[in-house]
Each structure stands twice: as structure tokens, then as C-alpha cells.
């Protein structure tokens, strides 16, 4: 080897090692990308946001064409979901599944180089609140999708899974070691897990410590986070200091009890919301998510599973069109605001801070507010605010929320503005019985953000429905069921 070559090699080697040094300890993070938003970020901006923040795995709730295209050749691995409404048709024939895989998986893999690794069949289909609606169709749909993947030549590359809520298991003793599957679905769970195992596929579970606190104000706060060492749950030789590990290990016990001790498990959703409830705030969200990200970066498992599971954070951004049936917090799970702006600092690994979305195009810098000379005793004020809030997202106005302490006038201004922005600053949209007016001065105060929406480039022609676009009742119901487990599990 010549001297020059030697130097070049040495230089390259240094480059590689120094790069290694930089990413050491950062294994890559995973998160959910939900799109139930009136003003979603452009898919290519989201993909950049994911990459710049160290996410190399993403979960989609449906085969969103723009997302799947933008993820092509991005280096990000994709789990693509199938909504519950598709389960019945997919269960009815292999041909339907073959078509689904062809159109929603194969075409993106071959044409765009999208690195699809999992198909998530259904979303929490066995929630008790669904009254068994998907009990008969989930397993056959899973089998048909698996057959279709094999037929498409993707059997090795793309694995199937079913994201389930933690209410598929429970513990009568109240301790993780007492974990077993819910008796009404135990046989079905065993069939599904056996099938997943036979196909080298994982089980996926969603865990929500936030709901422990939401359901019970007396729930020990430290235990909802990761440092409840002052009052641990003692289970034989194990001391549990947090509800996340206790919940996860309840599942591991259920798997062991039924002969699946080595079944791989993915955590499909876990996170903390920042608004819409007294316990949904930036301090708590930061505390929870920082501890979670640290665990992931350290490769930390649980007492019963030393190998850390893949953990998909819920969620990347806020979604203002989600159903609020579980509570007002439902639209505020993002580590970023709806537009990819940073909510609170997070160390993503080795001191790497969050990076906000770039290249976002906004509507004009103007807000619709209550006119200074309008009176709060105007007979139409209440109905105007109600009207605005029936179309747009007013979940930040509630008790304990980021805009919960506004006076009546600012409160009305918030409602008028969020409506005005949601309808893309339509010309006639800031005219509530002459109670409102436009301003160029940002009315935001303290924690309360008066948003300006993203410019979708559609303006007057926009035909969006603002109430519950792509309503996803599965996630909604997830919360209620998680409560049941957590309360009944007596953590
Ligand atoms: C997926 O494929 C099916 C055809 O089987 C199609 O009807 C559906 O709209 C596609 N897209 C999504 C998002 O599921
Ligand atoms: C389930 O049944 C209950 C009681 O019969 C009913 O109130 C509820 O709407 C049903 N839910 C669904 C998702 O069908
Ligand atoms: C599921 O199958 C059982 C047994 O065939 C049947 O009694 C039940 O009504 C079915 N449920 C649904 C939601 O179709
Ligand atoms: C848990 O962590 C929080 C914030 O880091 C701290 O304020 C609290 O005292 C800790 N609790 C225990 C029991 O260590
Ligand atoms: C603010 O508006 C919300 C939504 O209409 C309403 O529930 C609340 O009572 C209002 N608060 C005040 C102080 O006017
Ligand atoms: C609003 O004000 C304009 C001009 O001041 C007036 O012509 C109109 O009747 C008012 N509309 C309502 C609903 O009060
Ligand atoms: C109140 O609203 C009604 C219905 O939109 C409208 O006809 C009426 O003029 C409004 N009253 C005032 C005082 O603006």
C-alpha cells in the first residue's frame, strides 16, 4: 500500500470511527405518524423531520400514499397499518388480501423503494368497548394478509403483526406475575400468537401510563413516570418502580403462562400528551418522554425481558381532527406541535436536541379576534363561540389546559381564531355577528398559542370536513380499556 493510499485509508477510518462515536448509544428511535389533522405537514417535510431527529422506524395507521412515497429510499423502516373497517373484507377472501398487498405494499416497495417491514393488521381490534365486532375477522384477515405477502414474494421481508391494547391481558393478583389473557379471548389470542410465532412475526402492544393518572388523581405520580422507587410494587423478587414495566411484564407473564416465553414483542404506542387535561402538560410529557427516550437509547429492557423491545413513541405531531371521545388530550400527543414546531426540549441521545420541521409554509400572519369594542354580554357571543368550536379544535380552552385561564374576551378570540385558521383564513370567516375583527398582532399569551395554520394551497376551494376526518375509534377506545386494566390491575 502506497503512502498516499495509506493516508487516505487512515483518514477514512477516522471518519468512520468518529461518526461511530457520534451515534454511539443512539440505536435509532421509532414513532407513530398519524395524519388525522386538518392541516397536515407535507409528507416530505415529515420524512425530513423524522430523519433529523434520529427516527429510523415509523408506524402508519393506514397505507397513506403520500407518506409511503415520501418514505421511499429514506432509510426509514415502515410499519403500515390496516384500519379495522378493512378486516371483514380481508377476512372474506385471499384475493382481497392479495389486492390489498399488491396496491398498498408491493407497489411502494418496488416502485419507490419504501422499506416496509411490517403490516399491522387492524388497530386494537379486541377492545372490550367494540362489543366483539372484530373478533371473528381479525385472525382470518391476518392469515390472508400473510398468504398474500408470501404470494407477493415478500414473506421474508415483511412481517405481520396485530397492534393490541393492553386490555387483552389482565392480572387477578394485581401483580405482573399474575398476568394472563382476558378469559373471553384467551383461545383466540393463543391461536393468533401461535400463528405470529410460526411466521417469525412479533406481537404488538400499546401501553398508556398517562391514563393511570388521568383516571385516578390519587395514582402515585412517580409510578406513572419511571422513578416510583419510594413506593414500588413488589412482585416476588422484583420491585417495579413504574407502571410501564409492570404493564409490559404482565404481558410477558401471560405469554410465559401460555407457552410463548420467547415471543418477540413490540410496543406499538406509548407517550404523554401536553394539553387538554391537568395531567397533560409539557412538564409531565417532557419528564415521561425523556425517561422513555433514555431507556431506549440505553437499550434497557424490563425485569422479565432483558432484551429491549422496539418502542414506537406516540406521537410525532398533534392531530386536531382526532376524536375527543377519550378526552380533550387526544389531539395533543405530539412531541411536536401540528406544524412540527418544538413543544419542549428533549435530549434525543448524547445531548442531541430536537430539530423542528423546516420549510413549512404558513397562511398570512393575521389572527381573527374579538373586536375591542364588542361586548361580552352580546346575545350572540356564546352561540358564535360554540359554532366556531363545533368546527375547529378548542380543546386547549378547557380546565387545566394551555388556554384554560383566558378571560372571556380572549377565550372568544381563541375560538374565533382557531375557526378562521382552520377554514384557511377564508374571507368571510372572521365575521361572527360583527363581534370579530382581524389583527396583525399575535394574541398568544403565556402558555396559550393562537395558531396560524399551514398553507395547504387550497384556500377557497378547500373541501375538508373538520369533524373527525378518518375518525379512528380504535385509538379512542384504547384509552378507556387501558383504564380498566390499570384500575382493575390495582397498580
Ligand atoms: C389499499 O388497497 C385497496 C385495494 O385492495 C384499496 O381499496 C385501498 O384504497 C388501498 N389503500 C388504502 C389506504 O388502504
Ligand atoms: C356496545 O354496546 C353498548 C351497549 O349495548 C353500546 O352502548 C355501544 O354503543 C356499543 N359499542 C359499539 C362500538 O358498538
Ligand atoms: C362471530 O361468530 C360467532 C359464532 O359463529 C357468532 O355467534 C357471532 O355473532 C359472530 N360475531 C360477529 C360480530 O359477527
Ligand atoms: C422522580 O423524578 C422527578 C423529576 O426528575 C423528581 O422531581 C422526583 O423527585 C423523583 N422522584 C423520586 C421518588 O425519585
Ligand atoms: C371559553 O370557551 C369554552 C368553549 O366554548 C367554554 O367552555 C368556556 O366556558 C369559556 N370560558 C370562559 C371563561 O368564557
Ligand atoms: C355588521 O355591521 C355592519 C356595518 O357596521 C352592518 O351593516 C351589519 O348589519 C352588521 N351585521 C350584524 C349581523 O350585526
Ligand atoms: C344574532 O344571530 C342571528 C342569527 O345568526 C342574527 O340573525 C342576528 O342578527 C344576530 N344578532 C346580533 C345582535 O348580531
Q: CB of 375 closer than 6 A to ligand 7? A: no
From the CA of 474, how far away is ligand 7's center (Å)? 40
Rounded Cα–Cα distance for residues 321 and 282 (Å): 21
- Residue 140: exposure state from Cβ atoms within 10 A (0-12, 13-18, ≥19): middle
Is-cis flag, bond preceding 315, omega within 30? yes
Three-state secondary structure call for residue 460: helix
Summarize pLDDT for 348-392 with one digit per residue, the tens: 999 999 999 999 999 999 999 999 999 999 999 999 999 999 999
- Which atom of ligand 5 sits closest to the CA of residue 386? 5
Q: Which ligand number lies closest to the CA of residue 61? A: 1
Q: CB of 107 closer than 6 A to ligand 1? A: no
pLDDT band at 477 (very low <50, low <70, confident <90, very high): very low
Q: Do residues 371 and 434 make contact, with C-beta atoms less than 8 angstroms apart?
A: yes
Contacts of 477 by beta carbon, 8 Å cutoff, 6+ apart: 124, 127, 129, 130, 165, 325, 326
| Domains along the chain with CATH numbers | 25-331 (3.20.20.80), 367-453 (no CATH)
Q: CB of 434 closer than 6 A to ligand 6? A: yes
- Which atom of ligand 1 sits closest to the CA of residue 96? 5
**Across all residues in the chain, what is the average pLDDT?**
89
Q: CB of 130 closer than 6 A to ligand 2? A: yes
- C-alpha distances in angstroms, 276 versus 39, 100, 139, 332? 19, 37, 36, 7
pLDDT band at 483 (very low <50, low <70, confident <90, very high): very low
Contacts of 8 by beta carbon, 8 Å cutoff, 6+ apart: none
Q: Do residues 277 and 329 make contact, with C-beta atoms less than 8 angstroms apart?
A: yes
Give the three cell numbers for residue 263.
415471543
Which H or E run contains 297? helix 282-298
Cell 454511539, residue? Answer: 24
Three-state secondary structure call for residue 68: helix
Q: Do residues 188 and 122 make contact, with C-beta atoms less than 8 angstroms apart?
A: no
HSE (CB half, 13 Å, CA atoms) of 106?
16
Q: CB of 442 closer than 6 A to ligand 3? A: no
Could you report how far apart the first and last alpha carbons of the chain are, in Å? 65
Q: CB of 405 closer than 6 A to ligand 1? A: no
**Nearest residue to 199 (alpha-carbon basis) of 135, 268, 139, 252:** 139
Residue 27 CB neighbour total at 10 angstroms: 16
Residue nearest ligand 1's atom 10 by CA: 104
Summarize pLDDT for 447-465 with one digit per residue, the tens: 999 999 999 986 544 434 3
Summarize pLDDT for 278-328 with one digit per residue, the tens: 999 999 999 999 999 999 999 999 999 999 999 999 999 999 999 998 999
User: Beta partners for 244?
Assistant: none
**Nearest residue to 482 (alpha-carbon basis) of 265, 274, 227, 219:** 219
Q: Which ligand number lies closest to the CA of residue 68? A: 1
Q: Do residues 369 and 417 make contact, with C-beta atoms less than 8 angstroms apart?
A: yes
**Nearest residue to 322 (alpha-carbon basis) of 31, 37, 42, 82:** 37
Q: What is the pLDDT of residue 7?
A: 36
From the CA of 358, how far away is ligand 4's center (Å)? 35
Say how far residue 349 (Cα) sits from the centre of its chain.
Answer: 20
Three-state secondary structure call for residue 382: helix
Pick the more confident residue, 204 or 488: 204
Three-state secondary structure call for residue 209: helix
Summarize pLDDT for 27-85 with one digit per residue, the tens: 689 999 999 999 999 999 999 999 999 999 999 999 999 999 999 999 999 999 999 99
For residues 116-136, average pLDDT:
95
Positions marked active-site:
124, 269
From the CA of 397, how far away is ligand 5's center (Å)? 7
Q: CB of 133 closer than 6 A to ligand 3? A: yes
Q: CB of 380 closer than 6 A to ligand 6? A: no
Residue nearest ligand 6's atom 2 by CA: 434
Q: What is the pLDDT of residue 218?
A: 85
- Which of 373, 384, 431, 434 maximizes ligand 6 atoms within 8 Å of its Cβ, making it the mutation to test the pocket? 434
Rounded Cα–Cα distance for residues 23 and 21 (Å): 6
For residues 180-195, average pLDDT:
97
Q: What is the pLDDT of residue 194?
A: 98
From the CA of 435, how far away is ligand 6's center (Å)? 10
Summarize pLDDT for 380-438 with one digit per residue, the tens: 999 999 999 999 999 999 999 999 999 999 999 999 999 999 999 999 999 999 999 99
Rounded Cα–Cα distance for residues 3 and 25 (Å): 35
Q: Which ligand number lies closest to the CA of residue 132? A: 3
Contacts of 107 by beta carbon, 8 Å cutoff, 6+ apart: none
Summarize pLDDT for 227-240 with one digit per residue, the tens: 888 889 999 999 99
pLDDT band at 171 (very low <50, low <70, confident <90, very high): very high
Summarize pLDDT for 320-341 with one digit per residue, the tens: 999 998 999 999 999 999 999 9
Three-state secondary structure call for residue 385: helix
Rounded Cα–Cα distance for residues 110 and 172 (Å): 48
Rounded Cα–Cα distance for residues 331 and 314 (Å): 11
Residue nearest ligand 1's atom 5 by CA: 100
Amino acid at each position: 500500500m502506497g503512502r498516499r493510499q495509506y493516508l487516505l485509508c487512515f483518514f477514512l477510518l477516522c471518519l468512520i470511527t468518529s461518526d461511530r462515536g457520534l451515534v454511539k448509544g443512539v440505536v435509532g428511535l421509532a414513532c407513530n405518524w398519524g395524519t388525522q389533522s386538518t392541516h397536515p405537514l407535507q409528507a416530505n417535510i415529515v420524512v425530513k423531520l423524522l430523519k433529523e431527529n434520529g427516527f429510523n422506524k415509523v408506524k402508519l395507521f393506514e397505507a397513506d400514499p403520500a407518506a409511503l412515497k415520501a418514505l421511499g429510499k429514506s432509510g426509514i423502516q415502515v410499519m403500515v397499518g390496516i384500519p379495522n373497517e378493512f378486516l371483514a373484507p380481508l377476512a372474506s377472501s385471499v384475493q382481497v388480501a392479495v389486492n390489498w398487498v399488491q396496491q398498498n405494499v408491493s407497489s411502494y416497495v418496488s416502485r419507490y423503494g419504501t422499506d416496509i417491514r411490517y403490516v399491522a393488521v387492524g388497530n386494537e381490534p379486541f377492545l372490550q368497548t367494540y362489543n366483539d365486532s372484530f373478533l371473528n375477522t381479525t385472525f382470518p384477515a391476518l392469515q390472508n394478509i400473510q398468504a398474500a405477502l408470501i404470494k407477493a414474494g415478500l414473506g421474508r421481508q415483511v412481517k405481520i403483526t396485530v397492534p393490541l391494547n393492553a386490555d387483552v391481558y389482565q392480572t387477578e393478583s394485581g401483580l405482573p406475575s399474575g398476568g394472563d389473557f382476558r378469559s373471553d379471548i384467551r383461545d383466540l389470542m393463543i391461536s393468533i400468537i401461535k400463528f405470529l410465532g410460526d411466521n417469525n412475526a412479533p406481537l404488538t402492544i400499546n401501553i398508556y401510563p398517562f391514563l393511570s393518572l388521568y383516571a385516578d388523581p390519587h395514582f402515585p405520580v412517580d409510578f406513572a413516570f419511571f422513578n416510583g422507587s419510594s413506593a414500588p410494587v413488589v412482585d416476588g423478587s422484583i420491585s417495579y418502580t413504574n407502571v410501564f414495566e409492570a404493564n409490559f411484564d404482565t404481558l410477558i407473564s401471560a405469554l410465559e403462562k401460555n407457552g410463548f416465553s420467547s415471543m418477540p414483542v413490540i410496543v406499538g404506542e406509548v407517550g404523554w400528551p401536553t394539553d387538554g387535561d391537568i395531567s397533560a402538560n409539557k412538564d409531565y410529557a417532557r419528564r415521561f418522554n425523556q425517561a422513555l427516550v433514555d431507556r431506549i437509547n440505553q437499550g434497557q429492557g424490563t425485569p422479565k425481558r432483558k432484551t429491549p423491545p422496539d418502542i414506537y413513541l406516540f406521537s410525532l405531531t398533534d392531530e386536531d381532527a382526532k376524536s375527543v371521545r377519550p378526552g380533550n388530550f387526544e389531539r395533543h400527543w405530539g412531541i411536536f406541535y401540528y406544524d412540527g414546531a418544538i413543544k419542549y426540549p428533549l435530549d434525543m441521545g448524547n445531548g442531541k436536541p430536537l430539530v423542528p420541521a423546516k420549510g413549512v409554509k404558513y397562511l398570512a400572519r393575521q389572527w381573527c379576534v374579538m373586536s375591542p369594542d364588542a361586548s361580552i354580554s352580546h346575545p350572540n357571543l356564546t352561540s358564535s363561540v360554540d359554532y366556531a368550536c363545533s368546527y375547529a379544535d378548542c380543546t386547549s380552552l378547557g380546565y387545566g389546559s394551555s388556554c384554560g385561564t383566558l378571560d372571556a374576551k380572549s377565550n372568544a378570540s381563541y375560538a374565533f381564531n382557531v375557526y378562521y385558521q382552520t377554514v384557511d383564513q377564508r374571507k368571510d370567516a372572521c365575521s361572527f355577528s360583527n363581534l370579530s375583527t382581524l389583527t396583525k398582532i399575535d394574541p398568544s399569551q403565556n402558555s396559550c398559542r393562537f395558531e396560524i395554520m399551514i398553507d395547504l394551497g387550497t384556500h377557497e376551494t378547500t373541501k375538508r370536513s373538520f369533524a373527525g376526518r378518518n375518525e379512528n375509534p380504535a385509538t379512542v377506545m384504547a384509552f378507556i380499556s387501558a383504564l380498566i386494566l390499570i384500575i382493575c390491575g390495582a397498580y
